[in-house]
Structure 1
Amino acid sequence: MSTNHPTNTAAPAPPPPVDPPRRRVLADLTPLRSSADYRRIWFGQSVSSIGQQMTAVAVAVQVYALTKSAFATGLVGLFSLFPLVGFGLYGGAVADRVDRRRLGLIGSAGLAAASALLALQALLGLHQVGILYAAVALQGGFFALSSPARSSMIPRLLPPDQLPAANALNTMSLNLGMTVGPMLGGLLIGAYGAQSAYLIDTAAFAAVLYAMWRLPSMRPLGTPGTRATVLDGLRFLREQPNLRTSFLADLAAMIFGLPRSLFPALAATKYGGHAGTVGLLVAAPAIGALAGALFSGWAGRIHRHGLAILASVASWGLSIAAFGLTLGHLWLGLLLLAVAGCSDTVSMVFRNTMLQVAAPDEMRGRLQGIFIVVVAGGPRLGDFESGTVAALTNPTLSVITGGLACVACILLLAARRPAFLRYDSRHPTP
C-alpha cells in the first residue's frame, strides 16, 4: 500500500538580504531614507548646529574684544547655563502637555530671533556686553524649551529598531557642528567680522523652521487633561531603575572623567605652551565622537543596551586615565582623547535609545528636560571637580584620578544594578 504525499510546489523563500560591508561599519542611513519628516529635522539640526557653534565663537570673540577679560568671557557660559537648567525642566513638562510641533516651532523661532539680535548689535556697532549676555541667555532658554519637544518627536517618526541608528546620526550632526562650526566661524569672523557668523546662523534656522512646519500635530499620547509637572517626571525617574542608572553613568563620566578645564594648564606645562595645542586638545574628543558616529552601522544589532552603556563609559574613563599617564606625548594624548570621544558616542546612542523606547510617550518630554540638565550641568560640575583636585594636588594627578574614579563608579553601578546589565532593547523596561 502506497501513500501519496502532496508535493510542495511553492518556490523556496529567498535568503534574507545581506547588508553590504559598508552597512555593517558605516552609519546606518535607514532613518533618513524611511522618514521624510526625520530627514528634514536631521538636516535642519545639522545646519543650525554649525551656525550655533559659529555664533558661540563670535560671542566669545566680541566679549573678549570689549572687555579684555578672560573672566568676562567665561561668564558667557554661566549666562547660558542658568536658563538651560531652569527652562530645561520646565520645557520638558510643557512638551508633555502641548503640541510638541508647535513648541518646537516657537523655540526654533526664538533661537533665530536671538541670533538676529546678535547680528543687529554687531551691525550697529553697539559694543554693549550686556546685550551679548542677554542674547546668550535667551538662546539658552529657547533651546531648553524646544530641545525636549524635538527629542520627544523622534520615537513618533521612526520604528523602535531604527532608533539606535537615528541617535547615531543625531550624534554625528552634533559633533559635525562642534568641529566645522568653530573653524568656519573663526575664518568668517577674521575676514568679515562677527556679524557674518550671526547672519549665517540666523539664516540657518530656516531649515529647522521648515522641518517643524511640515510635521503633523504631535500632541502627547497620555490621558487628555492630565497635568504634566516637573515633580512627576522626577518621581518617575526615581522609580525606574534602568533609566536612572543610565543618567548616573553619564554623570560619572562628566563629573570625574572630563578634564577640559585643565587643558590650558596642561598645554602650558606639558606641551610647550603653544596656544594652538589647547584647540587640539579640545577638538580631539569631538573628532573621536564624530568618527564613532560615522562608523556606527553595528549599533542597530546590539540589544544589551545597559551593558553597552556601562562598557563605553568605562572605556571613556580608562582612556582619560591613560591620557593622564602619557602627558607630554601630544599625538598619543590626542589619540586617547579621540578614543574617549568615540566611547562617549556609543554611550550617548544607547542612552538616548533607552530613554526613547523605555519611557512612555507622556513622560518623554520631562525626561528629556532632565537629560538636558544632566548634559548641561554635568560638564560644569566636572570643571569644578577637576580644577579643585588639580589645585589640591596637580593637574596630572587630577586627570588620572578622575578617569579612575569614573571607572570605579561604573563598577559600583554594575554591582548594584545587575539587572541593568541584562537590559534588552527587545523587551524594554524603564
Structure 2
Amino acid sequence: MFVSLSSVLPDLSPWRSTRDFRLLWVQGLVTTFGSFMALVALPLQIKDLTDSPLAVGAMGAVELVPLIVFGLYGGALADAVDRRKVILLTEAGLGLLAAVLLLNALLPEPLLWPLYVVAAGVSALAGLQRPALDSLMARIVPHDQLIAATALNSLRWNVGAIAAPSLAGLVVAYAGHAPAYAVTVVCFAASVALCARIAPAPPAHDAEKPSLRGLAEGARYAWSRPVLLGTYAIDMAAMFFAFPNTIFPFLAEDLDAEWSLGLMYAAGAVGSLLLSLTSGWTSRVRRHGLLVVFGAAGWGLAITAAGWFGNVWLVLVCLALAGAGDMLSGLGRSTIWNQTIPDELRGRLAGIEVLSYSVGPQLGQVRAGAAAGWTGTRSAIWSGGLACVASVAALTAVLPKLLSYDATTDEDALRRREVSAAG
C-alpha cells in the first residue's frame, strides 16, 4: 500500500485561510534568522573574551530572573491589551539591543559586561512578547487547523535555525562578531515593518488590568489540569538536563573540529525541519500527550549519544535526531495548549508556557557550563541526556493523564472547539 504525498507533506490550510498567519509566518522567519545570528555570535564572543565554559554558561543565570518576572507579567499583559501592539514594541526593543551588541563589537576592545546586560534585556523582552505571540495564534487560526499552524511555524523556525547558525559560524570566523550583529539589526528592522501590517488584536471588552490576582487565577487553572502540568514539567526537565548548546564551542574544540560549531547549532534544526516537512500525519493524531512523552524521551536518548560519540559527524547526526524528538514533543505541547485553554486565560497561560520552555534551557545552560567545568564537556552532555530520559519516565508515571489525553474526548478540548466554532 502506497502512502499519498499529500498525507505526509505539511498541511497548508492556515497559510491559505488567514492573512495574519501569513504575515506572522514571514515575520517570524526574518526574526528567527536574525536571532540565531546573535545566538551564535554572543556566546562565541564571551568565549573569545574569557575562554571559560562557566562564563558562557552564566548567560543562563543572568537571563533567568528577567525571563520569569517578565514572562509572567507578559502573560497577564497579553490578556489585557492589544496583543499586536505588545509584539510590535518588543520587536523594536530587541532591535535596539542588537544595535548595542553591534556598537560594542565595533570598539577597539569590546567590553564583556554589556554582553550580559543585553542577554538579560533580550530575556525580559522575549518574556513580554512570547505570551502575546503565542496567544494570538489561537485567535487567528481556526481550531481544527491549530496543529497544522504549529507545524508550519516550526518549519519556519527550523529554516532560520539551519541557515543562520551555519552562516553565523562562517561570518564570525572570517569577518568577526560585528557583521553577525549587523545582520541581526537589519532583520529586526524588517520584522517591525511586517508586524505593523498585522490587524489589531484587542482584548475582550471585560478584560482586567494585569494584576497578581489575575496571575494567580491563571496559575490555579494550570494547576487544576494534570495534562497541562505534564506538558510543562516534562519540557522543563528535558531542557534542564539535556540542553548543551551553550558548551558547543567547547565540544567543537574537544573534537578538534572548530569548523563544525555552526553545524552543531544548526543540526537540531535539521532534524526538526525533516519532521516538519513530513508532518502531514500529525493532523490525524488525537493522542497528543504521546507525542510529548516520546518526543522528550527521544531528545534525551539522542543527546546521550551525542555526548558519548567522539566522531564529529556522528555527533551531528545525534543532534539532528534530538531536534526531531524536540519537534515532536513541541507539536504535542502546543496543540494541547491551544486546544484546551480558554481565550480569556490564554495570555496568562502562555506566560506560564514561556517559563516551561524557556526557564529549562536557561537553567540548562548553567548546569551544562558548570558540569563541563567540573567533569569535562562530553561527560556533561551524555550524563544530562540520561537524566533527561529518567525524568521523563518518572513524570509520566506521576502524571498519567498526559498519556491518556485524547482531543476527541477531553472536556476542555471539546468546550474550546465549541467556542471556536461559535465565532
1:408 corresponds to which residue? 390
Shift of 1:170: 1.8
SS in 1 for 2:405: coil
Task: State the one-letter code of the partner of 2:329.
Answer: S
Give me the whole-angstrom Cα distance separating, in 2, the residues matched to 1:61 and 1:323: 21
SS in 2 for 1:96: helix
Change beyond 3 A, Cα 1:127–1:274: closer
Task: State the one-letter code of the partner of 1:357.
Answer: Q
Instruction: Tell whether 2:193 aligns with 1:210.
Output: yes
2:235 corresponds to which residue? 250
Shift of 1:42: 0.9
Task: State the one-letter code of the partner of 2:225.
Answer: Q
Change beyond 3 A, Cα 1:382–1:115: closer
Unaligned runs of 5+ in 1: 1-18
Q: Does 120-129 or 376-385 show the bigger shift?
A: 120-129
Shift of 1:263: 5.4
Deviations 1:120-140 (A, max 9, x none): 455576844444433333222
1:312-327 matched pairs, under 5 angstroms: 312-323=295-306, 327=309
Shift of 1:305: 0.6
SS in 2 for 1:298: helix
Say if 1:222 and 1:362, in contact at 8 Å, map to a contact too: no
Deviations 1:242-282 (A, max 9, x none): 1111111112322333445665666666x4x3333555444
Give me the whole-angstrom Cα distance separating, in 1, the residues matched to 2:105 and 2:121: 17
1:36-115 matched pairs, under 5 angstroms: 36-60=19-43, 62-63=45-46, 73-115=56-98
Give me the whole-angstrom Cα distance separating, in 2, the residues matched to 1:267 and 1:192: 19
Give the number of aligned pairs: 409
1:350 corresponds to which residue? 332
Change beyond 3 A, Cα 1:195–1:311: closer
Give me the whole-angstrom Cα distance separating, in 2, the residues matched to 1:201 and 1:145: 20
Question: In percent, how many aligned pairs have the same letter?
Answer: 38
SS in 1 for 2:81: coil
SS in 2 for 1:284: helix
Shift of 1:89: 1.4
Give me the whole-angstrom Cα distance separating, in 2, the residues matched to 1:404 and 1:70: 21
2:216 corresponds to which residue? 231
Larger Rg: 1
Give me the whole-angstrom Cα distance separating, in 2, the residues matched to 1:45 and 1:372: 17
CA RMSD of aligned residues (A): 3.3
Shift of 1:69: 6.0
Task: State the one-letter code of the partner of 1:220.
Answer: P
Deviations 1:136-182 (A, max 9, x none): 33222222211211111011111122111211222222233232212
Give me the whole-angstrom Cα distance separating, in 1, the residues matched to 2:63 and 2:88: 21
Give me the whole-angstrom Cα distance separating, in 2, the residues matched to 1:385 and 1:62: 20
Change beyond 3 A, Cα 1:265–1:112: closer
Task: State the one-letter code of the partner of 1:252.
Answer: A
Change beyond 3 A, Cα 1:222–1:354: farther
Change beyond 3 A, Cα 1:108–1:429: farther
Change beyond 3 A, Cα 1:32–1:423: same
Q: Could you tell me the TM-score, scaled by structure 1's length? A: 0.82
Give me the whole-angstrom Cα distance separating, in 1, the residues matched to 2:393 and 2:205: 37
Change beyond 3 A, Cα 1:136–1:226: closer
Among 164, 176, 180, the residue aligned to 2:159:
176
Say if 1:63 and 1:73, in contact at 8 Å, map to a contact too: yes
1:133 corresponds to which residue? 116
Q: Does 132-141 or 19-28 show the bigger shift?
A: 19-28
Say if 1:320 and 1:400, in contact at 8 Å, map to a contact too: yes
Say if 2:158 and 2:272, in contact at 8 Å, map to a contact too: yes
Among 352, 357, 371, the residue aligned to 1:375:
357
1:339 corresponds to which residue? 321
Change beyond 3 A, Cα 1:224–1:52: closer
Say if 1:41 and 1:212, in contact at 8 Å, map to a contact too: yes
Instruction: Tell whether 2:146 aligns with 1:163.
Output: yes
2:280 corresponds to which residue? 297
Give me the whole-angstrom Cα distance separating, in 2, the residues matched to 1:193 and 1:267: 18
Q: Does 340-349 or 277-286 show the bigger shift?
A: 277-286
Instruction: Tell whether 2:102 aligns with 1:116.
Output: no
Give me the whole-angstrom Cα distance separating, in 1, the residues matched to 2:56 and 2:376: 25
Change beyond 3 A, Cα 1:235–1:193: same
Q: Does 380-389 or 241-250 show the bigger shift?
A: 380-389
Task: State the one-letter code of the partner of 1:38.
Answer: F
Say if 2:10 and 2:279, in contact at 8 Å, map to a contact too: yes
Shift of 1:393: 7.2
Shift of 1:30: 2.2
Among 384, 398, 406, the residue aligned to 1:424:
406
Say if 1:41 and 1:208, in contact at 8 Å, map to a contact too: no
Q: Does 376-385 or 158-167 show the bigger shift?
A: 376-385
Give me the whole-angstrom Cα distance separating, in 2, the residues matched to 1:291 and 1:251: 24
SS in 2 for 1:220: coil
1:3 corresponds to which residue? none
Task: State the one-letter code of the partner of 1:335.
Answer: V
Deviations 1:80-111 (A, max 9, x none): 44322321111111111111111111111211
Give me the whole-angstrom Cα distance separating, in 2, the residues matched to 1:237 and 1:112: 33
Shift of 1:359: 0.9
Give me the whole-angstrom Cα distance separating, in 2, the residues matched to 1:372 and 1:408: 24
Unaligned runs of 5+ in 2: 413-423
Shift of 1:364: 1.6
Task: State the one-letter code of the partner of 2:363.
Answer: L
SS in 1 for 2:196: helix
1:281-292 matched pairs, under 5 angstroms: 281-292=264-275
Shift of 1:54: 1.6
